[in-house]
Amino acid sequence: MNLQKNYSLKNLNTFGVDVNAKLFLEINSEEELIEFFTSPLSKREPILIIGGGSNILFTKDFDGIVIKYSKRGINIISESSGEVMIEANAGELWDDLVTYAVKNKFYGIENLTLIPGTVGAAPIQNIGAYGVELKDILSTVEYFDLRDQSIKKIPNKECRFAYRDSIFKNELKGKFLITKIVLKLSKEKKINLSYKSLSEELAKYPQNEISIELVSETIKKIRGSKLPDPKLLGNAGSFFKNPEIDTDSFNTFIKEFPDAIFYKQENRYKISAGWLIEKCGFKGMRIGNVGSYEKQALIVVNHGNATGSEIKDFADKIVYEVKNKFDVQLFYEVNII
C-alpha cells in the first residue's frame, strides 16, 4: 500500500474538478483491505471510497482518506448449456466487462454498453440504460464490511434495487466497499429492444440479423450522438434522475403539458428530466465555465476550469426553475461531496 498526501483528484473524477484529498490510498487486494481497515489510521480519518469518479461532484477538498479499490479480473465461475455465471472484481472497468460478455456472446449486459465507471460502483446506483438495469442480470454482490472487517455476500433480492437506488445508498451507506459482483447471463440469444430509440434504430435490419454485437455497436452510436466524452468535456453523464410521480399528479401534469415525454411504470409515471430542463430553456445554456450540454439538457458540463461549487450552483438553478415552471421536483443522480 502506498499512502499519498495532498493528492490531486482531478484525474479521478470525470468532471475534472481540481480538488485534493488530504490522503489517498489505492488498494489492490482483499488482504490490503483488511490490513488498512484494522490499522489505527482507518479510525482517525474520514474515509471516502471512489471507483471511476463518473458519478461524483467534488465541491471542496476532501479532509480525510480517499480510497480507490483497483483489483481487476473477470472469470467464469459456472456454466451450463443455457446460462453462464460471470464474476468480476470491483476495480474492473464496467465497459470492459460488457465488451467481454459481447465478445463471448453472453446475453443480457449488451444494452449497458459504454456506461463509464467501475464494476464496484454499478450496484450502488443500479445502473441502467436502454431498457435494462443491473438488477435484471445481477446474482450476488460481495463486499467488505467496514464495521467488522469481514467479507460478506448479498444476493440480488436483498439489495433492495430500485430506480438508481439500492441498499448501498441507504442502510449500508458508509459501511461497505464492494469487492466483486456475480452476473447471470444467457448463452441463448435474448435481445432486449424495448427501448424506443434502440428499436427504431434497429428496425431497418431483419430480425435474424440483429446480433449482440450489432446491439452493442448501435448503442455506442446512439450514446455517442447524445453524450459528450468526459475526456474532452467534463461531465458525469445524467446529472438528474427522471422524476417519478403518481397517477393523480400525472393526470394533472399531462393536461397542462400534453407534449411532455414520459414513461409509464405500473401505477407511477416517469417524466423525462431532459424534457423538463429543455423546456425551461437550459439546453445549450452556458454560465461562465458551466453549462447544459447542447445535445442533451440532462447533462451538466464543465467547459473549462469550473469549480464543483459553480457546477452545483448551476444544477441548483435548474432544479429551482423546473420546480417553478412544472411543480415537479428534480433529484440529483450525481453524488455531491
pLDDT in tens, 37-49: 988 888 888 999 9
CATH code assigned at 10:
3.30.43.10
The arrangement of strands across the sheet holding 262-265 comes to 244-246, 268-271, 262-265
What's the structural domain count of the chain?
3
For residue 54, the tally of other CB atoms under 10 A from its CB is 22
Domain-terminating residue out of 226, 246, 276: 226
The residue from 187, 202, 226 where one domain ends is 226
Residue 66 has pLDDT above 90, yes or no: yes
Written as one letter, the residue type at 86 is I
Q: pLDDT at residue 266 above 80?
A: no
Q: What are phi and psi of 217, to 5 degrees?
A: -65, -35
User: Which tens digit of pLDDT belongs to each residue from 152-170?
Assistant: 999 999 999 988 889 998 8
Alpha-carbon distance of 92 to 72, in angstroms, equals 5
What's the mean pLDDT in 40-60?
90
Which CATH number fits the domain that encloses residue 306?
3.90.78.10
- Per-residue pLDDT at 187: 94
Residue 1 pLDDT greater than 80, yes or no: no
| Judgement on whether residues 89 and 205 belong to the same structural domain of the protein | yes
Per-residue pLDDT of 5-14, as tens digits, reads 999 999 999 9
Q: What pLDDT shows up at residue 223?
A: 87
94-103 vs 212-226: helix crossing angle, rounded to 10: 150
> What letter does residue 295 receive in the DSSP assignment?
T
Record the pTM: 0.85
Domain shared by 290 and 150, yes or no: no
Average pLDDT over every residue of 256-272: 88
Average pLDDT of the residues in 296-321: 95
Examine the domain organization and report whether 162 and 259 are in the same domain: no
Q: What is the CATH number of the domain that holds 191?
A: 3.30.465.10
Inter-residue contact 205 to 233 (CB < 8 Å) = no
Alpha helices, H only, the chain: 30-37, 41-44, 94-103, 122-125, 196-202, 212-226, 247-256, 273-279, 308-326
Stretch 192-215: mean pLDDT, rounded? 90
Q: 51 pLDDT exceeds 90?
A: no
**One domain for residues 187 and 243:** no
Task: Provide the annotated active-site residues.
Answer: 164, 238, 333
Q: Are residues 50 and 137 in the same domain?
A: no
* Boundary of a domain, candidates 191, 226, 261: 226
**pLDDT of 332:** 93
What's residue 229's pLDDT?
A: 87
Mean pLDDT computed over 23-31: 93
pLDDT tier at 107 (50, 70, 90 boundaries)? very high
Q: Considering only residues 324 and 223, tell me which one the structure prediction assigns the higher pLDDT.
A: 324
Instruction: Look at residue 231 in the predicted model and tell me its pLDDT.
Output: 86
Looking at the structure, do residues 52 and 84 belong to the same domain, yes or no? no
